[in-house]
Structure 1
Amino acid sequence: MGNHHHGHGHGHDHHDTDALPALLDLDAEVLHAYLKDLTDQVHELTGGAPRRILDLGCGTGTGTLALAERFPEAELIAVDLSPEMLQRLRDSAARAGVADRIRTVRADLDEGWPDVDGVDLVWASASLHHVADPDRVLACVFAAIRSGGHLAVAEMASMPRFLPDDVGGGLEDRLHAALATRHAEEMPHRGEDWGPRLRKAGFTVQASQDVTIELTAPLPAGAARYAQATLTRLRSGLEDQIGADDQATLRLLLDGDGPGSLLHRGDLLVRAERSTWLCRRP
């Protein structure tokens, strides 16, 4: 998942980098069922056969660790631009007892392909939309995968939502609209259908789906913190586009400790949209 940051092996700069690792981990924690279902699909597609797996844009490594659990015989290579993210993954891998199976590689995909090839499976979760030239990167991915190997691509359609529609008179709608405008300028590949690019690169798309995740009470334990981290990041990144009334509502939601605070509300939900493409290299 998971996962939307400059550390995905490329060079985009974003706000709130220090808070991003916690957000990525919360995404995986709260949407654990989605991540498990996706790794199960990949396991079924590949027959559990991959012995060398590349996580392209690993972030904090939640996908890497999920793959390590699902493919217990596999060696994993985790690529990211951020040294801090890679260290976080190494620490998590040590705690999980799988550090001997995970190798980390620091690389910027916009600068060139890392020295990694001969892999059976590439996992690219929320990373391809960041690269400047996705066709070039996908050609490199194709070359790195052994004949008969697989590629799993997962992307977010948008940031998750948490608030009832009446909070702030549609506050979340306005935040998401502003974010979509910014993404259209900064990350034009976000939200696109990757099927044509994958086929152009030479892959056979074996399965694709759009997944809508809707969680209601009782929510997972980390849901309120996930909402807080997500809306904090939106506020920081869109600060110059948020009006005074919306700023006041966000302060109530994020900064206070009263009943209106996200950490104490009983009406939160989690709505997320993800798209996946499971592919094979002929």
Structure 2
Amino acid sequence: MHPVLPVFVLISSAILWGVTWWPLQYFHTNGVAGIPLILVGYGVVGLVLLPWLIRERRAWRGESRFLWIMLLLGGWANLSFASAMIYGEVVRAMMLFYLAPVWGVLGGWLFLGETIDRARWFGVGLALLGAFLVLGGPVVFETAPSWLDLLAISSGLAFALNNVTCRGAAHVPLMSKTAAMFIGCGLMAIVALPLVSAGLPEVPGTTWFWLVMFGLVWLLIATLGTLWAVTHMEAGRASVLLITELLAAVISAVVIGGETLSAGELAGGALILAATLIEARRGPDEPVVDVPAAY
């Protein structure tokens, strides 16, 4: 296999994840509201991956408690991330989501006993300062963050804790872990549906068809491409390349979505990106915290 192939696949998958906001907002503006959209788009991926989960049950049976945790954390990470992409500003939501490495460092320290050296504390400080600027600087003390900001932050937190759980669940196969995330997202959407909507909206059948195709083609290819690529290269290199997701989201939201960035958001995003790079480029002898790709 040519060594460039995993790099190409990973960058392509990261770009797909970074531009996921586009079809999500397209379906939303064409009559499929947030929760029904997530239920169908993400739930269909969970159904496709369900046979793998069942087939691998002998491997994860002894660690089924971890699978339940991943179902909850991974499900919420996907649900809250997609909701933030649908209703909020893409750039702002992505920046706040990319605090996930910070939560991953702190979660590894609290739950797995991983050490935090000066470089890691410096990265944590940079990321938190970046989030402070993205949220408006001193204004954050005057007004509470919006519910969309909280969704984006909670998505990154849930994703990071899900990664910590994945590292603790050594015997759970990777496909089962991925299936748990999408199945959890679908189940949470089913629970939320009667709370926020009267039911599935009445839209043309072609809209539902393309929504299912979005899940089966876009989301599934992005997920499998990421999983395949990260297993064929060094973790540190993969973490750096996955930052393409953030760059793709920011560039596409500005060019296609017409979003603009304030000076504070630019400075905050740069600090968060710098903190992510510090964590991603750690040496192979140091534990690497997963850089988020929203799967």
Q: Give TM class, smaller chain.
A: under 0.3
Q: 1 or 2, which has the higher helix percentage?
A: 2
Structure with the bigger RCO (C-alpha within 8 Å, sep 6+) is 2
Q: 1 or 2, which has the higher strand percentage?
A: 1
TM-score, normalised by the number of residues in structure 1: 0.27
